[in-house]
Amino acid sequence: MLEENKKSMEDFALERVKPEDRKGWVSLAAVQTGLFICVPSLLLGAILSASMPLWQALAAGIIGYLLTILISFFLGMQGADLGIPSAVITCSTFGTKGARILISSLLAISMIGWFGINCNVCGDAFSNLMKIATGLEIPVTISSIIWGVIMLLSAVFGMNALKKLDSVSIPLLVIIMVLGTVMAFRKFGSGGLSVEVEQSMTMIQGIGLSFSFTAVAAVTCSDITRFQKSRKETIKSTFWGILPAAIFTLVLGILMTKVANDYDISSVLATVGLPFLGIIVLILATWTTNSLNAYSAGLDVVMTFNLPDNKRKLATLVTGLVGIVLAVLGILGHIESFLSLLSYVFSAMGGVMMADYWIVGKGKPESWHRVEGFNWTGIISTVIAIAIAAFVVKVDYSGLLWGLIVYLVVEKFIPSKSRELDGTVE
- Which of 94, 50, 127 lies closest to 417 in space, CA to CA? 94
User: How does residue 318 score in pLDDT terms, banded at 50, 70 and 90?
Assistant: very high
Is 1 domain-assigned?
no
Q: What percent of the chain shows pLDDT beyond 90?
A: 34
User: How does residue 338 score in pLDDT terms, banded at 50, 70 and 90?
Assistant: low
Query: Can you spell out the DSSP letters for 294-330?
Result: HHHHHHHHHHHTT--GGGHHHHHHHHHHHHHHHHHTT
Task: Give the per-residue pLDDT at 425.
Answer: 41
Is 334 domain-assigned?
yes
Give the CATH number of the domain where residue 123 resides: 1.10.4160.10
Angle 159-188/140-157 helices, nearest 10 degrees? 140
Task: Give the per-residue pLDDT at 342.
Answer: 75
Residue 108 has pLDDT above 80, yes or no: yes
Residue 235 has pLDDT above 90, yes or no: yes
Distance CA 363, CA 390 (A): 29
Angle 25-36/159-188 helices, nearest 10 degrees? 50
pTM of the model: 0.82
Is 24 domain-assigned?
no
Distance CA 384, CA 386 (A): 5
Task: Give the per-residue pLDDT at 255.
Answer: 86
User: How does residue 343 score in pLDDT terms, banded at 50, 70 and 90?
Assistant: confident
User: How does residue 222 score in pLDDT terms, banded at 50, 70 and 90?
Assistant: very high
Number of domains forming the structure of the chain:
1
- Helix (H) or strand (E) run with residue 95 in it: none
Range with top average pLDDT, 205-214, 341-350, 401-410: 401-410
Cβ atoms 372, 418 nearer than 8 A: no
Is 19 domain-assigned?
no
Angle value at C-alpha 354, between 350 and 360, nearest 5 degrees: 145
Is 184 domain-assigned?
yes
Is 7 domain-assigned?
no
Task: Give the per-residue pLDDT at 5.
Answer: 44
Distance of CA 183 to CAs 38, 249, 272, 385, Å? 20, 16, 7, 47
Mean pLDDT of 327-339: 70
User: How does residue 216 score in pLDDT terms, banded at 50, 70 and 90?
Assistant: confident
Task: Give the per-residue pLDDT at 420.
Answer: 60
User: Domain range spanning residue 329?
Assistant: 31-190+202-413
Task: Give the per-residue pLDDT at 336.
Answer: 60
Is 66 domain-assigned?
yes
Is 418 domain-assigned?
no
Residue type, 384: I
Beta-bridge partner residues of 174: none
Task: Give the per-residue pLDDT at 333.
Answer: 65
Task: Give the per-residue pLDDT at 6.
Answer: 46
Q: Which residue has the higher pLDDT, 268 or 356?
A: 356
Residue 149 has pLDDT above 80, yes or no: yes
